[in-house]
Amino acid sequence: MSFAVNKNEQLQVKIEDLTHDGAGVAKVDGYALFIQGALPGETVTVHVLKTLKKYGFAKLLEIVEPSPERVIPPCHVFPTCGGCQLQHISYEAQLKQKQKSVRDVMDRIAKLPDVPVHEVKGMDDPWRYRNKSQIPFDTEHDRVITGFYKSRTHQIVDTDICLIQTTEADELMTMLKRKIQQLGIETYNEKTNTGMLRHVIVRKARQTNQVMVVLVTRHKKFPQKQAVVELIQQEIPNVTSIMQNINTANTNVIMGNETINLYGADVIIDRIGDIEFEISARSFYQVNPQQTEVLYQQALDYAGLTGSEIVIDAYCGIGTISLFLAKQAKEVYGVEIVPQAIQDAKRNAEVNGITNTHFEAGAAEEVIPKWYAKGKQFDVLMVDPPRKGCDEKLLDTILQYKPAKVVYVSCNPGTLARDLRILEDGGYRTKEVQPVDMFPHSSHVECVCYLEYVGVTP
């Protein structure tokens, strides 16, 4: 089979676009080449690494004509580390690129060329925004290493500093890397399923400054735990909770099912707007609380609540959006498939004195019809699904009961566009899309969409 380019060929190409994961895209006689590190508008020299039927991959050798938006990445392990993909492009250009990526899937997948896609709502200071870090530990050449995984691998890129996580997480990484070997604590080896310390998780509450540290170990018996607890207390004065999570499984899943308290409270307290949340070791909680408030306010604006509406919050998690909605709705019904999350949601409602919420564990496509069967009529349906998008059965449920308004919060523009097409074919009209930058310097972008039911046109 012949291609427009051949493996091991050296070419000079013009970069036209970026992929969803930040690789530059060049076209050679219509044949797409993906080149990590190249930016739109640049002329670059590349070495072709691999050719497939419709596209290939090439290595960037030289930037002949750089983009005016190219900047020097401040992180010394970029782009080896897989955490960020866009540090080599100015933040303003990142936001424009993310808007373009949403626009592209609205045109190509959703077939909605006329739907407004607004400018991305970004951050004034797009650094140190992550309130949760999951830090793996390993040993290499008799030396403890820690950092983050190289893209698409479980190979740790050793570092002491990550510019998108908290300084507390940096300080803890550096200290533990130095001390655990002295204490005789073995790091976990995923290949051999041996060792003790697997991960350290650091969570910080932005509004209260409280810090939780979770030590993920292979065994419950952890002889050195008191020494580690004391070291953490010395290193991080604002630590209010130290937990041990036990994960005995031979798996790359980070946490196990059992968590025990080593010091302080079982939870840390944070606030988004005027709503307080209790965050436990295993709670799902948005990692960028500053932008979460922007995201949820947009969802609330699209819902257009006047105080008389009954609202469904599908995929409600620990109730973060539900509690925002409850302030302006008559009632909010939240459903989530994870029972622990529902327990947290009920507790968070109680903590905030919110009494017009109802939470139920189960699959949304099974629970929502039960509510309708009991005579409930819903005015607004809010969905905030995982990256894979809405379950097909949930989309069928929405089209069966036809709530007047749907507000769709998405962390994956591609699956969002797919689901919008289905809802559009079923009688909904997408009115507008507002992207929000929850993860600066990464290729991810979240969106809030507003849809109204108008009926199926004959």
Q: Residues 54-68: pLDDT tens digits?
A: 999 999 999 999 999
Q: Tell whether the model's pLDDT for residue 279 goes beyond 60.
A: yes
| Whether 390 is catalytic | no
The CA radius of gyration of the chain, in Å to the nearest whole number, is 24
Mean pLDDT score of the chain: 94
- Give dist(CA 191, CA 162) in Å, integer: 26
- Give dist(CA 328, CA 139) in Å, integer: 52
**Considering the chain, what percentage of its residues have pLDDT values greater than 90?**
90
Dihedral (CA of 29, 30, 32, 37) sign: positive
Q: Are strands 24-28 and 211-217 parallel, antiparallel or unpaired?
A: unpaired
Q: Tell whether the model's pLDDT for residue 1 goes beyond 70.
A: no
What mean pLDDT do residues 122-130 have?
97
Q: Residues 48-98: pLDDT tens digits?
A: 999 999 999 999 999 999 999 999 999 999 988 988 999 999 999 999 999
What is the model's pLDDT at position 388?
95
Model confidence at 3, in pLDDT bands (50, 70, 90)?
Answer: low
Model confidence at 276, in pLDDT bands (50, 70, 90)?
Answer: very high
What is the model's pLDDT at position 456?
80
Beta carbons of 282 and 320 less than 8 angstroms apart:
no
Domains of the chain (ranges plus CATH)?
A: 10-65 (2.40.50.140), 103-123+288-453 (3.40.50.150), 132-272 (2.40.50.1070)
Beta carbons of 81 and 165 less than 8 angstroms apart:
no
Q: Residues 156-204: pLDDT tens digits?
A: 999 999 999 999 999 999 999 999 989 999 999 988 999 999 999 999 9
Distances (CA, A) of 145 to 55, 129, 130, 186, 188: 37, 24, 21, 12, 11
Q: DSSP assignment of 195-231, as one string?
A: -SEEEEEEEE-TTT--EEEEEEESSS--TTHHHHHHH
Going by C-beta distance under 8 Å and a sequence separation of 6 or more, which residues neighbour residue 156? Answer: 136, 138, 140, 145, 146, 147, 148, 149, 150
Going by C-beta distance under 8 Å and a sequence separation of 6 or more, which residues neighbour residue 94? Answer: 86, 122, 437, 440, 441
Distances (CA, A) of 364 to 301, 324, 452: 23, 20, 20
What amino acid occupies position 191?
A: K
Start-end of H helices in 270-351: 289-303, 320-326, 339-351
CB-based burial label for 54 (10 Å; 0-12, 13-18, 19+): exposed
Catalytic residue among 84, 411, 447, 449, which? 411
What is the model's pLDDT at position 4?
78
Going by C-beta distance under 8 Å and a sequence separation of 6 or more, which residues neighbour residue 370? Answer: none
